[in-house]
Amino acid sequence: MEPPQRSPGRGRPRTITRERIADVSIAIGLPSLTFVGVAAALGVSHMALYKHVPNIEALKCLVAEEIFQRWEIPRACGDTRQGLQAYLIRFAASVQAFVKTHPGLTPYVIRRLAATQSMIGKISDHQAHIAQAYGLTHEQARWLLSTVAFHGFAVADTVYTVSGREPVLEADRGGEETEMEGELLEGMQALIVGALVLLDQREGGAEGPGISG
């Protein structure tokens, strides 16, 4: 006589962690994020997800914070004023690539009220690193990096939001985006040069705008 067969068990319920929520949400993308979609990707019910995140806005904030924490901000590449200009251009390019990779993220980064303590901590650490590398005060580094980041995020978001979406038939959308990216790069370089001139004026005691922002 054969032993009775055991019915297959349901197995352990899938563990819902912040990292897993962030991973599947990043894959879906902030603009397309829904509770049902994230829950399905996690293999759980949307009610189970609600136990970890109270609403869709909290979910988006969680994902935006995690994306920001995973951003590898470039490190300093020299200790001269020319090196600082080169670094800021590299930083601006990193911002541009970051925005392009993560559409919908800019509102959660550019607004101070949306920044979490961990995001603020990462920003402050970056400012301290640049201040030390280039012999700046923390306020000078804060102003320079905030100026480049604010305009970089805002303009890049505009470029990737509107590129290819205007009602033009048979438009070369790839060519248009490349052209707009070139204009963005030139504009950011002009902004950086101007910001460094203002910094020199401040250090030299010349009249003109300060750098306190």
List, in order of start, the domains of the chain with CATH numbers: 18-68 (1.10.10), 73-204 (1.10.357)
User: What's the pLDDT at 177?
Assistant: 79
Looking at 39-165, which runs of residues are DSSP E strands?
none
Q: Which of 45-49, 63-67, 133-137 has the lowest mean pLDDT?
A: 45-49
**Residue range 151-164, pLDDT digits in tens:** 999 999 988 887 55
CA–CA gap between residue 168 and residue 166 (Å, rounded): 6
What pTM did the predictor assign?
Answer: 0.81
Question: pLDDT, tens digit, for every residue of 26-57?
Answer: 999 999 999 999 999 999 998 999 999 999 99
CA dihedral 83, 86, 91, 96 (to 10 degrees): 180
Residue 207 has pLDDT above 90, yes or no: no
Nearest to 91 by CA among 210, 189, 181, 159: 189
Looking at residues 131-142, what average pLDDT do you find?
Answer: 95
What pLDDT digit, counting tens, does each position of 157-202 carry? 988 887 555 555 555 666 777 888 889 999 999 999 999 999 988 7
pLDDT surpassing 70 at residue 12:
no
Instruction: Report which of 74, 79, 191, 56 is spatially closest to residue 132, judged by C-alpha positions.
Output: 79
> What amino acid is encoded at 102 in this protein?
H
To the nearest whole number, what is the mean pLDDT of the chain?
84
Q: Which amino acid is at 153?
A: F
* pLDDT surpassing 70 at residue 8: no
What would the pLDDT profile of 68-89 be if each residue is shown by its tens digit?
999 999 999 877 878 999 999 9
d(CA 16, CA 66): 15
